[in-house]
A = this chain, B = another copy of it.
Amino acid sequence: MAVAQIEAKSLWKEYGDNTVLEQVNVQVEKGEFITIVGTSGCGKTTFLRMLLGVEQPSRGELLLDGKAFPAEPGDDRGVVFQRYSVFPHLTVLKNTLLSEEFHQSRLLGKLFGQKKEQAEERAKEMLESVGLSHVLGQYPHQLSGGMQQRLAIAQALIRKPKILLLDEPFGALDPGIRADMHDLILGLWNETGLTIFMITHDLREGFYLGTRLWVFDKIRLDPQCPHCFGSTITYDIDVGQTKGSLFQAIDHSLEDSRKFLVQ
Residues on A facing B (Cβ under 8 Å): 39-40, 134, 144, 146-147, 174-177, 201-203, 251, 254-255, 258, 261-263
| CB closest chain-B residue, reference A131 | B262
Partner of A175, one of B146, B147, B202, B263: B202
**Most chain B CB inside 10 Å of its own CB: which residue of A146, A201, A262:** A262
Looking at A40, A175, A176, A202, which has the most chain B CB atoms within 10 Å of its CB? A176
B201 touches A174 (CB 8 A): yes
Q: This chain: how many copies in the complex?
A: 2
- Closest chain B CB from A179 CB (angstroms): 8
Give the chain B neighbours of A203 by CB distance below 8 A: 175
Determine the distance from Cα of A147 to Cα of B40 in the docked complex, in whole angstroms: 14
Q: In whole angstroms, how far apart are the Cα atoms of A220 and B20 in the complex?
A: 53
One of B176, B251, B263 near A258 (C-beta < 8 A): B176
Chain B residues with CB under 8 A of A261: 144
Residue of B134, B174, B175, B255 near A176 (CB, 8 A) is B255
CB of A119, distance to nearest CB on chain B (Å):
26
Contact call B254/A176, Cβ cutoff below 8 A: yes
